[in-house]
Amino acid sequence: MIVPLQSDERFLAEVTATVARRQGVSLWWLGQSGFLVHYDGVCIAIDPYLSDSLTHKYAATAKPHVRMTARVVDPALLAMVGLVTSSHNHTDHLDAETIGPMRQTNPALEVLCSAANVDFAQQRLGMMPTGLVLGTPYTHGPFVIHAVPAAHNQREQDDAGHERYIGIVVEVGGVTIYHSGDTLRYDGMVELLRRWVIDVAMSPINGNDPSRGVAGNLDGAEAAQLAHDIGARLVVPCHYDMFAFNTASPTVFVDTARQLGQAYRVLQAGECLNM
Ligand SMILES: [Zn+2]
């Protein structure tokens, strides 16, 4: 089992001290596609997966989800988080066993997902999430959150035309963050994202290999190339080292980023990136 750089009490101590200090934007990798972001005393969590719900769900099946990295933190202790975002309905991006304990700790916790997924998320979570629509940013304290489409493996819309898979662009404290969600590259993606000057992009690197049951994500080379093409100042890889059947080494990502002259940062689980 991979041990996070810091977890539990040590992780919480750093978050608490950072919230008290209120300097700049800070971002921690929670494992898989999960990130905690802080600015000016306000915290949001993007796609947090802090339980063993998939390990339990798929135990004794042909696709066991064996956890590779120990949990960074008990979600019940994340009282400082005011908003959770969800890029799509897969459990590693919308986990009742993560969001439920967070809501018990902070009953005011908001959940933001694509408008296409509000009904599903409401049933899974037992609370009413807010639906995010392309072109209509949502504001939470100092955070302004825009939805952008994702293709997992294709772009898909509901009957009202809302995207089933999204990424988000987060503007906060003079920093612009792009979290791609689970996605492949699609026509128009680069042009769309070039509307923003992106300081840090977080993208999956586990690839697209249906023969292993791994569907619909950029691989390391594609993640580095996308970051380069959208002009991201820094790229952080994610969506690996969580499940043994669905992971990738960041080596190819690192090699490609170096070839492209693309700045990158490989975080350990629980590690903080200050901006
Ligand atoms: Zn995923």
pLDDT digits (tens, 9 = 90+) for 134-189: 999 999 999 999 999 999 999 999 999 999 999 999 999 999 999 999 999 999 99
pLDDT digits (tens, 9 = 90+) for 7-48: 999 999 999 999 999 999 999 999 999 999 999 999 999 999
Å from CA of 114 to ligand 1 middle? 16
Distances, alpha carbon 88 to alpha carbons 5, 7, 47, 118, in Å? 28, 26, 9, 10
pLDDT digits (tens, 9 = 90+) for 161-175: 999 999 999 999 999
According to CATH, the superfamily of the domain at 8-269 is Ribonuclease Z/Hydroxyacylglutathione hydrolase-like (3.60.15.10)
* Torsion 152-176-139-109 (CA) sign: positive
pTM of the model: 0.97
Å from CA of 118 to ligand 1 middle? 18
Mean pLDDT of 72-94: 98
Å from CA of 21 to ligand 1 middle? 33
Å from CA of 53 to ligand 1 middle? 14
Ordered by start, the domain boundaries in the chain are 8-269
> Per-residue pLDDT for 245 more than 90?
no
Distances, alpha carbon 221 to alpha carbons 149, 251, 257, 266, in Å? 21, 9, 8, 14
Å from CA of 167 to ligand 1 middle? 12
Å from CA of 91 to ligand 1 middle? 8
Q: Which residue do the tokens 């629980």 mark? A: 270
Å from CA of 182 to ligand 1 middle? 6
Mean per-residue pLDDT of the chain = 96
Give residue 143's pLDDT.
Answer: 98
**pLDDT above 90: percentage of residues in the chain:** 91
**pLDDT above 70: percentage of residues in the chain:** 100
Give residue 243's pLDDT.
Answer: 87
- The single-letter code of the amino acid at 144 is V
